[in-house]
Amino acid sequence: MPKKGKTPKRSEADVPPKRSKPDSPSPFCFDSPASLFQSLISPLGVQEFFRDHWERRPLLLQRSDPALAARYPSLFRLSDLKELCSRGIAYGRDVNVCRAAGGKKQVLNKEGRASYSQLRKDLEKKKATIQFHQPQRFNDELWRIQEQLECYFGSLVGSNVYITPEASQGLPPHYDDVEVFILQLEGEKHWRLYKPTVPLAREYSLEAEEQIGSPTHEFTLKPGDLLYFPRGTIHQADTPAGVEYSTHITISTYQNMSWGDFLLDAFPGFLFDAMRTEIPMRAGLPRKLLMDVNSSDSTVKQLAGFVRRLADKIEEGQELRSADMKRDFISSRLPPFLEDGSEVMPAGKMPKLEDTVRLRFKDHILLSVEPSRERTDESTELVVFVLHSLRNSRETHMMGEQQDELMDSEAACQAQGLRFPLTHLKALRQLLNSESVPVSELLLEQEADRRSLALALWAEGLVLVS
């Protein structure tokens, strides 16, 4: 799921139209994010998955289900590349051509737009793997699956497709910094998994084959099968002899979503707030401390005391506020999937004080308490932002700098969402925690504030009158 570097921009004319729905029923249940995930790992139960496998050990589901084997290829087929190439996909940005050679990844990309005939030639003649980036940008069902998974995990969910020809291997042994779910779509793929050298790794890395030992798992995936393994799991895969080619999709999540990442995000603000009341933390450092080669016992003791006091504050209820992680997630994730393909607009009648309202798209809304972003000479003021992903771009989802460039422009203001005084926090939490709330009972002192809050959320497309 790593973000990629800058690549050629795509015009609106280059974006493929939405794919029509497949004829056969979907094996995925879209009633809720939880039901979608359960249908993904079926027949294993969710509780058993998180108890026995999540961040612990691989899961292999060889399901031998003809319905799944027939339906899974609709997520992505080799033949889909023909239409995508006609719409203007580019090397590097959308597709990589690569193969494993001498323990390294050899990239065989051309320049500019990719042609289907050239990709087929590289696949058949050069025994190269075609890696297609983020196919959810073009396939409605993948969009729907990954949008629901982002709601379920509360984390970004990316995907890549790998098409590998007979008796060849696209990537050398390596491990990833994401939790990986692999769906076999076409053909067969032979896999070998190895014990992690870096459990729950935070970075992608190649591993020399002579140093990884014997596989802990070895098997062949067929259409309809699923494989999960935790980040840090060393793996390699090849298409067996006698199989024309293999197509699989990796769906990945939980990049930079550890406790350590949360503390890196939340702790600076928490420490800043603590310094307001903890006078000893505002006392000056000992003279020449920064010049000392070794820390003295008294310095170590004082620092440890500060950390213990901060831990006490957390237990006493002082909140750790994550701001950057929330904003990165909400601004980068997929927009809601709507059956009719319409954009999210204000819906229903305008709310009045006597009405009851309910939030729409709850799973796409986050509250973030942050310092006011206005420049002022006055003391820093905390405000609450209602952040949402309703107007995010599907076309740039997980596409690195293309996405960042979009966020640098007018879209950055849209992604900021709505800003309210901190006094509105209780009412906003009330809406998020309730099925519906009478406007007159919103937890605000002034009647005018209740009306204006409901109206602002309605205008943003976030509430409906029940």
Residue-wise pLDDT tens digits, 321-376 = 888 999 999 999 999 998 776 778 888 899 999 999 999 999 999 999 988 866 55
DSSP β-bridge partners for residue 193: 217, 235
pLDDT score, position 413: 44
Longest dimension (CA), the chain: 75
DSSP 222-251: -TT-EEEE-TT-EEEEEBPTT-SEEEEEEE
What's the fold here for domain 323-395+414-465? Outer Surface Protein A; domain 3 (3.90.930)
CB 98 within 8 A of CB 129: yes
Write out the two tokens for 102: 């001498």
Task: Indicate whether 293 pLDDT > 60.
Answer: yes
| Helix ranges, 56-196 (H) | 66-71, 80-86, 116-124, 140-153
pLDDT score, position 341: 67
| Range from 27-41, 100-114, 251-265, 283-297 carrying the lowest mean pLDDT | 283-297
Q: Which one is predicted more confidently, 304 or 19?
A: 304
pLDDT score, position 339: 79
Task: Determine the length of the chain.
Answer: 466
Confidence at 1, pLDDT banded by 50, 70, 90: low
pLDDT score, position 405: 56
- pTM score, two decimals? 0.90
pLDDT score, position 347: 87
Q: Mean pLDDT across the stretch 249-261?
A: 97
Confidence at 254, pLDDT banded by 50, 70, 90: very high
Task: Indicate whether 400 pLDDT > 50.
Answer: yes
Yes or no: domain 33-253 corresponds to CATH 3.40.50.1110: no
Residues of the chain with CATH 3.90.930.40: 323-395+414-465
What percentage of the chain has pLDDT greater than the value 70?
A: 90
Q: How far apart are CA 226 and CA 222, in angstroms?
A: 9
Q: How far apart are CA 123 and CA 99, in angstroms?
A: 10
Task: Indicate whether 380 pLDDT > 90.
Answer: no
∠ at Cα 389 (383, 393), nearest 5°? 135
Task: Indicate whether 418 pLDDT > 90.
Answer: yes
Q: Mean pLDDT across the stretch 377-384?
A: 75
Q: Which one is predicted more confidently, 25 or 122?
A: 122
Q: Which one is predicted more confidently, 161 or 102?
A: 161
∠ at Cα 359 (356, 365), nearest 5°? 155
Determine how many CB atoms are found less than 10 A away from the CB of residue 40.
23
pLDDT score, position 6: 40
Residue-wise pLDDT tens digits, 52-81 = 999 999 999 999 999 999 999 999 999 999
pLDDT score, position 451: 97
Query: What does pLDDT average to over the chain?
Result: 90
Residue-wise pLDDT tens digits, 237-246 = 999 999 999 9
CB 181 within 8 A of CB 227: yes
Residues of the chain with CATH 2.60.120.650: 33-253
